[in-house]
Amino acid sequence: MGILQTGRIDIAYEASGGGEAGVVILIRGQGTQLIHWPESFYEGFSNQGFLTIRFDNRDTGLSSKFDRIAGQELEALKRRLAVGENIDPPYTMDDMALDAVALMDELDIENAHIIGISMGGFIAQLLAAKYPSRVLSMTSIMSASGIVDLTLIDALWSVPKSREDYIQEWVEYVRQFGSKKYFEGDDYSRRIAAAAFDRCYSPDGANRQLLAIFSRKNPKDWVKSISVPTLVVHGSDDLLISPSRGQETARIIPNATFQLIDGMGHDIPPRLGKLLADVVLAHILKDANCKT
């Protein structure tokens, strides 16, 4: 693992694969870390010759934290947002997209295949819309393109917990929202949650990311402008973000392809990793073959 000092923030990242086939950059969802990517997924790209880069978004894992706005100040911003007021969040989705650009610059990567899940899908869409020269293809997984319902903010808001309570909360999350067809069992959920807590537990960081998500303005306007080859993937069993939201994204992006994965919920367990990687690889390689 390395930590890059980009001039914007410090970004923790890990890379695998040789790179002779190109570069794949994986962008995580809200509050999760690069260790949440299952090896069965990212090695699917590395084994095909891609340099595959995973990184911690700002405010998660070992990347920079924005703790100058925390605690009660964050709660006040949440209350204002919940009643429909405009706020100035600690940072925006645009800032998070620029972090990915800065990562590419520091690693001397001209362009890459961008894959994002959930919040990472929002970031991937931004990159494709606003920095198309840096994006060879874009894949948005279990994400959406419209405004997120403000009534969800309380349910998604993180409250500081003990290590034991955090682990149990993750177990219950996977039971409720995970991919039941590919369920790995509670013991696996506990191991991942324990590793994430011990590596970096930052509930305020997760909440600052939420404020960025809920503060997006008219995202469909710029999503419609995406011109890079696009794949939208959603799970049939996603109870957190409805598959209809993924279908909507595919409809408004010109020439986008939509792929529904039977039995996938709002996570990528190891048993699902290779299947999902193969779906995305087919999209990436199809585009590469069309250009040769």
pLDDT of 5 > 60? The answer is yes
- HEC-encoded secondary structure of the chain: CEEEECCCCEEEEEEECCCCCEEEEEECCCCCCHHHCCHHHHHHHHCCCEEEEEECCCCCCCCCCCCCCCHHHHHHHHHHHHCCCCCCCCCCHHHHHHHHHHHHHHCCCCCEEEEEECHHHHHHHHHHHHCHHHEEEEEEECCCCCCCCHHHHHHHCCCCCCHHHHHHHHHHHHHHHCCHHHCCCHHHHHHHHHHHHHHCCCHHHHHHHHHHHHCCCCHHHHHCCCCCCEEEEEECCCCCCCHHHHHHHHHHCCCCEEEEECCCCCCCCHHHHHHHHHHHHHHHHHHHHHCC
Question: What is the average pLDDT value for the chain, to the nearest integer?
Answer: 94
pLDDT at residue 230 is higher than 50: yes
Quote the pLDDT of residue 95: 97
Which positions ≥6 away from 282 have C-beta within 8 Å? none
- CATH code for the structural domain at 2-290: 3.40.50.1820
Residue 72 tokens read as: 């009660």
115 to each of 104, 132, 218, how far by Cα in Å?
Answer: 14, 14, 22
Q: Going by C-beta distance under 8 Å and a sequence separation of 6 or more, which residues neighbour residue 62?
A: 1, 3, 12, 56, 199, 200
Residue 231 near residue 256, CB atoms below 8 Å: yes
Q: Which pLDDT belongs to residue 291? A: 54
Task: Render pLDDT for 32-66 as a digit per residue (tens, 0 to 9).
Answer: 999 999 999 999 999 999 999 999 999 999 999 99
76-125 pLDDT, tens digit per residue, is 999 998 888 889 999 999 999 999 999 999 999 999 999 999 999 999 99
Among 99, 54, 130, 55, residue whose Cα is nearest residue 212:
99
**Which pTM does this prediction carry?**
0.95
Q: Has residue 180 got a pLDDT over 90?
A: yes
pLDDT tens-digit readout, 65-84: 999 998 899 999 999 988 88
CA angle at 247 for the pair 246 and 251, rounded to the nearest 5° = 120
Give the Cα-Cα-Cα angle 211, 105, 33 (nearest 5 degrees). 40
Residue 147: the pLDDT is 83
Q: Is residue 292 over pLDDT 60?
A: no
Residue 209 pLDDT exceeds 70: yes
Residue 289: its pLDDT value, please?
56
* Beta strands 112-117 and 135-141, pairing class: parallel
Cα 171 to Cα 35, 69, 103: the distances in Å are 16, 29, 32
Strand 22-27 and strand 112-117: pairing? parallel
